[in-house]
C-alpha cells in the first residue's frame, strides 16, 4: 500500500506542459527523491501533490486520500518544508511553532507539550525566545523543519531542503532527516544535489521537462545507466589522444569544455593508455549519480 | 482557470489566521493604537474647533458634531484599508506568511477571511476610539442610540476590508497603493460628506456620491450620533454588505490566480 500514488499527472500552463503524465509510487517509511534540473517540474509536482494547484489530468492519492478533492484532509497528514524560508518574522522561535500548530487545529497545551522535543530536534533549545532575524540560515532551515513536524505528521515534503546552506549546516539537516527516516517517517524531497540524493534517498525519480526519465535506487540507477568507472582527462594533446585512443579504450566518451569524460568498464586499460601520453592529466573515480543525471538530462544550461 | 472563479468555501479555519494577526498586533498595541487614532483625532478636533468656530450649524448641528460623525466612518474606512493594503500585502507578498499557512490544512479562502475579519477588528478599534471621544465631549444626542454605531463600524470595516483586498490582489508593490488612495479613498472622503454636507455638491456629483460606500456609512453613522433613527437603513446596510462581499469574492478569485498557479 503506497503512501503516495500518482497516475498520469499532468499540468499545463498555456501551451507548455510542465508536468507530463507522471506516475509515482512512494512506499511507507521510505525516503523518495525527486531530482531534476531547474524547470523540470519538481516544485510544481509538490504543489500538485499538496492540492495547492489543480492538475489538468491524472490522479493523486496521498495517505489514501484523493487530492485535490480532499486536499485539506490530506494536508493534515503532511509536513511541508518549502524551498524559501517563510517563517513568521513577527514571532519568536517558540511563537512560530505555537502559531503553526494552531493552523492544524491543535490547542495551546497540545503544542506546548511538543515544544521541547521540537526545539531539541532543531537544536534551538536555547534559542526559544530568539527573533527570526537573529537566526543563521541553517537555524532557520532547522526551525522550518521542526515547524513541519509540529502536528507529528507521518509524511514530510521537502523542497530543496539544503539549497543555500553551507556544508556544516547541510550535514546537520541531513542528520535530522536520517533521524526522521529511522523514526519511520515517509519523506519526499526534491533536490538538485546529487550527493544529497545519494546519501538520503532509498529511491529516486529523475524528472526532465516534466517527464520521468528514470526511477530506482541510487546504486541501481548508476549500475543500469552508466559504466562503473569514469576517467576525466584533460591537458595538452587531448584532441589527438581522443582521436587516436579514446574510441579503443572508452565504452563511451564525452567532451565538456576542456575535459574528456571517458566512461569505462576497465579503467586499468584507460590508465595504461594514458601513461603513454605524459602531457595529459587525469582523474579516475567511480561513476556516480551525477553522471547518470547528466547523461539523462544533458549538459545544457537550464535557466 | 474555472477553479479560480469558484465561490468562496468558508470554514472556521480562518480563526487561527485572525489569531495570528491579533498576537502580532498585541506586541505593538500601544504605538499601533496611537498611530491609528492620532491622525483622525487631530483632524476632527483641529478642524472641528478651529473651523467650527467660524461656521454656523452645519446640517442642523454644530460643526464639531457634524465632523465627529463623519470621522467615525472615515477613520474606520482608513483602518480597514490600511490593514488589508499594507499589512496584508506584507504577509502575502513580502513575508510569504500566506504560503506557509496554506501548507497547513487551510485554503486561501480561509486565509483571506482571516485577513478580512482582522480588518473588521481593527476598524472596530478605530471606530470605537472615535466614539469614545464623542462620548467624552458629549457630542451625541442619545447615548443608547450611539451604541448602534458599533455594529455600523464593523460593517464599514467589512466593506472596505473587502474592497481593499482587491487592490492587494493586483498590486505589484507597496507603491501601487498610492493610486488607490489618490483615485478612490481621497475623492470619496471629499464626495461623501465627511467634511461638508453632500448637498453642497453639484447635482450630478451628488448622484455619484449616492452610490459610494462611504456615503452609505456616513448616512448610517451621522444620524446615530445626533440621536435620530437613520433613513433607509436596509438600503445602506445591504449596500455596504454587497460592496464588502463582492470585494472579498473578486479579491479571492484574483489572489488565487496570483498565488495558486
The domains of chain B are located at 29-259
Instruction: State how far residue B253 is from chain A, nearest Cα, in angstroms.
Output: 14
Domain-embedded: residue A53: yes
In a domain, A105, yes or no: yes
Q: What is the pLDDT of residue A138?
A: 94
Cα gap B220→B242, rounded to integer Å = 16
The answer on A159 and A216 residing in a single domain is yes
Is A130 within the bounds of a domain?
yes
| pTM attached to this predicted model | 0.92
CB-nearest to B96 from A84, A91, A105 is A84
Identify whether residues A174 and A277 lie together within a single domain: no
Closest by CA to B114, choosing from B23, B22, B15, is B15
- Determine the structural domain holding residue A107 and report its residue range: 89-152
User: Is residue A67 located within the same domain as residue A165?
Assistant: yes
Q: What is the pLDDT of residue A297?
A: 84
- DSSP letters spanning B45-88: HHHHHHTGGGS--BTTB-HHHHHHHHHHHHHHHHHHHHIIIIIH
Whether residue A62 is found in the same domain as residue A160: yes
Interface check for B103 against chain A (CB to CB < 8 A): the answer is: yes
Residue A102 sits at the chain B interface (C-beta within 8 Å)? yes
pLDDT at res. B3: 77
In a domain, A41, yes or no: yes
Do the Cβ atoms of A82 and B100 come within 8 Å?
yes
A112 and A166 share one domain: no
CA distance A97 to chain B (A): 12
Q: Residue A253 domain-assigned?
A: yes
Per-residue confidence (pLDDT) for residue B2, from 0 to 100? 61
Same domain, A109 and A163: no
Mean pLDDT of each 10-residue bin along chain A, 303 residues long: 94 92 96 91 94 96 96 96 94 97 96 97 96 96 97 96 91 94 96 90 94 94 93 91 88 89 92 89 92 84 65
All cell numbers assigned to B130: 472615535
From A121, A136, A152, give the residue that closes a domain: A152
Asked if residues B75 and B223 have their Cβ atoms less than 8 Å apart, the reply is no
Is A104 close to B104, i.e. CB distance below 8 A?
yes
Which residues from chain A sit within 8 angstroms of residue B255, using beta carbons? none
β-strand pairing of A4-13 with A155-159 = unpaired
Q: CB distance from A69 to chain B under 8 Å? A: no
The stretches in chain B having pLDDT less than 50 are none
Among B3, B96, B106, beta carbon nearest to A103: B106
C-alpha–C-alpha distance, residues B55 and B49, integer Å: 10
Half-sphere exposure of B134 (CA within 13 A, CB side): 36
One domain for residues A158 and A169: yes
Do residues A203 and A140 both lie within one domain?
no
pLDDT of residue B34: 85
Kindly state whether residues A217 and A159 are assigned to the same domain: yes
Taking Cα atoms as reference points, which of A45, A68, A55, A58 lies closest to residue A12? A55
- Give the pLDDT of residue A298: 81
The minimum CA-CA distance between B255 and chain A, rounded to whole Å, is: 13
- The ipTM of this complex is 0.91
Domain count, chain A: 3
Give dist(CA A259, CA A117) in Å, integer. 50
**How many angstroms separate the CA atoms of B36 and B39, rounded?**
7
pLDDT, position B78: 95
Does the residue A301 lie in any domain? Answer: no
CB contact under 8 A, A86 and B13: no
Domain match, A72 and A179 both: yes
- Considering the domain boundaries, does residue A129 fall inside one? yes
For chain B, say whether A87 makes contact (Cβ under 8 Å): yes
Note whether A138 and A176 are same-domain residues: no
Check residue B15 and give its pLDDT: 97
Residue A50 has a pLDDT of 96
Amino acid at each position: 500500500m503506497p503512501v503516495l500514488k500518482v497516475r498520469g499527472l499532468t499540468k499545463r500552463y498555456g501551451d507548455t506542459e510542465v508536468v507530463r503524465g507522471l506516475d509515482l509510487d512512494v512506499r511507507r517509511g521510505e525516503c523518495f527523491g525527486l531530482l531534476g534540473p531547474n524547470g523540470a517540474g519538481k516544485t510544481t509536482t509538490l504543489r500538485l501533490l499538496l492540492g495547492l494547484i489543480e492538475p489538468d489530468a491524472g490522479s493523486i492519492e496521498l495517505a489514501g486520500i484523493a487530492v485535490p478533492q480532499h486536499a485539506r484532509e490530506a494536508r493534515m497528514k503532511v509536513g511541508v518544508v518549502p524551498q524559501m524560508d517563510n517563517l513568521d518574522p513577527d514571532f519568536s522561535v517558540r511563537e512560530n511553532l505555537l502559531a503553526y500548530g494552531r493552523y492544524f487545529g491543535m490547542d495551546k497545551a497540545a503544542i506546548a507539550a511538543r515544544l521541547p522535543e521540537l526545539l531539541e530536534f532543531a537544536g534551538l533549545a536555547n534559542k526559544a525566545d530568539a527573533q527570526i532575524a537573529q537566526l543563521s540560515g541553517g537555524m532557520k532551515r532547522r526551525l522550518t523543519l521542526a515547524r513541519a513536524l509540529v502536528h507529528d505528521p507521518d509524511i514530510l515534503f521537502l523542497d530543496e531542503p539544503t539549497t543555500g546552506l553551507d556544508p556544516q549546516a547541510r550535514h546537520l539537516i541531513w542528520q535530522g532527516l536520517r533521524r526522521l527516516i529511522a523514526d519511520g517517517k515517509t519523506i519526499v524531497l526534491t533536490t538538485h544535489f546529487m550527493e544529497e540524493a545519494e546519501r538520503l534517498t532509498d529511491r529516486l525519480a529523475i524528472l526532465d521537462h516534466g517527464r520521468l526519465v528514470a526511477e530506482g535506487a541510487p546504486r541501481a540507477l548508476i549500475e543500469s545507466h552508466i559504466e562503473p568507472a569514469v576517467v576525466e582527462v584533460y591537458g595538452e594533446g587531448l584532441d589527438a589522444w581522443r582521436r587516436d585512443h579514446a574510441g579503443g579504450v572508452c565504452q563511451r566518451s564525452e567532451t565538456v569544455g576542456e575535459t574528456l569524460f571517458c566512461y569505462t568498464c576497465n579503467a586499468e586499460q584507460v590508465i595504461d593508455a594514458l601513461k603513454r601520453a605524459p602531457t595529459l592529466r587525469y582523474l579516475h573515480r567511480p561513476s556516480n549519480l551525477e553522471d547518470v543525471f547528466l547523461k539523462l538530462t544533458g549538459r545544457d544550461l537550464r535557466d | 482557470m474555472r477553479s479560480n472563479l469558484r465561490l468562496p468555501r468558508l470554514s472556521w479555519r480562518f480563526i487561527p489566521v485572525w489569531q495570528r494577526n491579533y498576537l502580532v498586533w498585541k506586541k505593538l498595541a500601544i504605538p499601533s493604537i496611537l498611530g491609528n487614532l492620532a491622525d483622525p483625532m487631530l483632524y476632527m478636533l483641529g478642524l472641528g474647533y478651529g473651523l467650527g468656530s467660524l461656521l454656523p450649524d452645519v446640517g442642523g448641528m454644530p460643526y464639531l458634531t457634524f465632523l465627529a460623525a463623519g470621522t467615525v466612518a472615515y477613520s474606520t474606512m482608513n483602518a480597514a484599508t490600511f490593514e488589508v493594503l499594507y499589512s496584508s500585502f506584507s504577509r502575502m507578498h513580502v513575508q510569504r506568511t500566506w504560503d506557509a499557512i496554506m501548507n497547513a490544512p487551510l485554503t486561501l479562502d480561509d486565509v483571506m477571511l482571516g485577513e478580512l475579519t482582522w480588518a473588521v477588528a481593527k476598524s472596530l478599534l478605530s471606530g470605537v476610539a472615535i466614539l469614545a471621544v464623542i462620548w467624552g465631549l458629549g457630542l451625541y444626542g442619545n447615548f443608547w442610540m450611539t451604541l448602534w454605531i458599533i455594529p455600523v463600524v464593523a460593517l464599514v470595516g467589512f466593506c472596505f476590508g473587502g474592497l481593499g483586498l482587491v487592490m492587494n490582489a493586483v498590486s505589484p508593490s507597496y507603491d501601487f497603493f498610492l493610486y488607490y488612495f489618490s483615485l478612490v479613498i481621497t475623492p470619496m472622503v471629499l464626495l461623501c460628506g465627511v467634511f461638508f454636507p453632500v448637498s453642497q455638491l453639484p447635482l450630478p456629483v451628488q448622484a455619484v456620491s449616492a452610490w459610494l460606500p462611504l456615503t452609505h456609512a456616513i448616512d448610517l453613522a451621522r444620524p446615530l450620533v445626533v440621536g435620530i433613527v437613520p433613513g433607509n437603513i436596509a438600503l445602506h446596510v445591504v449596500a455596504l454588505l454587497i460592496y464588502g462581499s463582492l470585494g472579498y469574492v473578486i479579491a479571492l478569485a484574483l489572489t488565487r490566480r496570483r498565488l495558486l498557479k
